[in-house]
Amino acid sequence: MQGKYRFCFGPWNLSEGQDPYGPPTRPVQSFDWKLEQLSKAGFDAMMFHDDDAVPDIDNKSRAQIMKEARALKRKLDNAGVEAEIVAPRLWFSPMTIDGGYTSNDPKCRRYAIERSLTCIDIANEIDGKLIVLWLAREGSYIRESKNGRRSVEFLVEAINKMLAHDKKIRIAIEPKPNEPMDHAYIPTIGHAIALASLTIDPTRVGALIESAHAILAGLDPADEIDFACACGKLWSLHLNDQNGLKFDQDKPFGSNNLRVAFNQIRALERNGYGKNGEFVAFDVHPFRTTKVEHWMQHLVNSRRTFLRLLEKARAFDEKKAQALIADRNYQDLDQMVLDHLMGR
């Protein structure tokens, strides 16, 4: 039996079109509207930041936060939607201007850890399976401003506090090499897994791969998937696309390079991704030009491309490919892939 995939996205993937140069191009929509779109389009789960789950989290009491998390859980149950992950948003607050866990200011580091522990409590309340750490501001703009060795130790210390706070919670690190930082401390899956090995419970620390982030690191996302899976560490996935080394574009999956997308699916297939309940998430954004009535298309289209490329991956003539490989005829293997993708 070939595996079935389950799909999800986050409320931020129905973004309103703002960029550093201009305001929103679509009206702000409520969370309930976003949940309704997700469920109507037949996605299985939703991803959350802690403050997607409980807005304005820093200005609420603990009791209020937990009450709102419980209300969200009821809402999700009614919609038949699971919570896939919860991620502490450690890049918005004035307390994280210089980073969260690796800030030079001990008060700010404490804030980041406290907020992460609250995020874990919210995840438990809404039955989120995984905590995701996108370490947005853990890096430097100015190399001399931070001590890289000490920063790694701060990251380990923060993750250890999370692991100790909850004996069951699992953490997936989402690496990205740059943006918003010049250089991030955890730029690749190899770094994420190495960091996991330094913690008090490496078995509960894994990774999340995002296609665009791998491409921004100059890597092939399929190789990143294989590496993470060979280590038993691929616990979540953000598929999207990226046109070269520029700002993080979060384009629809396969939009820029179908072959790179095809190879990611081949990697997922050979590793049995999803067999342990992992989801395929699309961390994609609508183009700024997108009209309100087309607001879901980047998500629906990403899933469509995924499923069509899945058919392609399953229909690939492995025997013929193996014969070409045995003959070291990579020239024809190359063309065979192109013909297959072009429909012949």
Which residues bind to ligand GLO, rule: CB under 6 A?
A: 87, 132, 134, 174, 176, 210, 238, 248, 283
Beta strand 183-184 with 139-140: parallel, antiparallel or unpaired? Answer: antiparallel
What does residue 58 show for φ and ψ, rounded to 5 degrees? -70, -15
Task: Point out the catalytic residue in the list 49, 213, 238, 298.
Answer: 49
Residue 298 annotated as catalytic: no
Measure the CA–CA gap between 131 and 134, rounded to whole angstroms.
10
Q: Is 226 in the site for Mg ion (CB under 5 A)?
A: no
Task: Point out the catalytic residue in the list 44, 50, 51, 52.
Answer: 52
Residue 52 annotated as catalytic: yes
Judge whether 207 and 189 are in contact, CB under 8 Å: yes
Name which position in 109, 115, 170, 238 contacts Mg ion (CB under 5 A).
238
Buried b (16+ CB within 10 A) or exposed e, 294-309: ebbbbbbbbbebbeeb
176 binds, among Mg ion, ligand GLO, none (CB under 5 to 8 A by kind): ligand GLO
For the chain, give the number of residues.
344
Measure the CA–CA gap between 211 and 241, rounded to whole angstroms.
6
Judge whether 212 and 241 are in contact, CB under 8 Å: yes
Give 96 or 340: the residue with its C-beta nearer to ligand GLO: 96
In order, the DSSP letters of 94-163 are: GGGTT-STT-SSHHHHHHHHHHHHHHHHHHHHTT--EEEEE-TT-EESSGGGS-HHHHHHHHHHHHHHHH
The token duo for 235 is 């616990």
87 binds, among ligand GLO, Mg ion, none (CB under 5 to 8 A by kind): ligand GLO
CB of 86 to ligand GLO, least distance (A): 9
CB of 2 to Mg ion, least distance (A): 27
CB of 227 to Mg ion, least distance (A): 18
Measure the CA–CA gap between 332 and 320, rounded to whole angstroms.
10
Measure the CA–CA gap between 83 and 28, rounded to whole angstroms.
22
Q: Is 52 in the site for Mg ion (CB under 5 A)?
A: no
CB of 177 to ligand GLO, least distance (A): 11
CB of 12 to ligand GLO, least distance (A): 6
CB of 201 to ligand GLO, least distance (A): 21
The token duo for 173 is 């690190």
Q: Is 84 in the site for Mg ion (CB under 5 A)?
A: no
The token duo for 270 is 């050979």
Give 91 or 316: the residue with its C-beta nearer to ligand GLO: 91
Q: Is 251 in the site for Mg ion (CB under 5 A)?
A: no
From the list 85-93, 138-146, 178-186, 280-288, the region that binds Mg ion by CB under 5 A is 280-288
Give 132 or 336: the residue with its C-beta nearer to ligand GLO: 132
From the list 35-43, 225-233, 278-286, 291-299, the region that binds Mg ion by CB under 5 A is 278-286
The token duo for 260 is 């790179």
Judge whether 138 and 184 are in contact, CB under 8 Å: yes
132 binds, among Mg ion, ligand GLO, none (CB under 5 to 8 A by kind): ligand GLO
- From residue 283 to residue 322, the character string flagging contacts with Mg ion as x (rule: CB under 5 A) and all else as - is x---------------------------------------
Give 176 or 340: the residue with its C-beta nearer to ligand GLO: 176
Q: Is 210 in the site for Mg ion (CB under 5 A)?
A: yes
**Catalytic center residues:** 49, 52
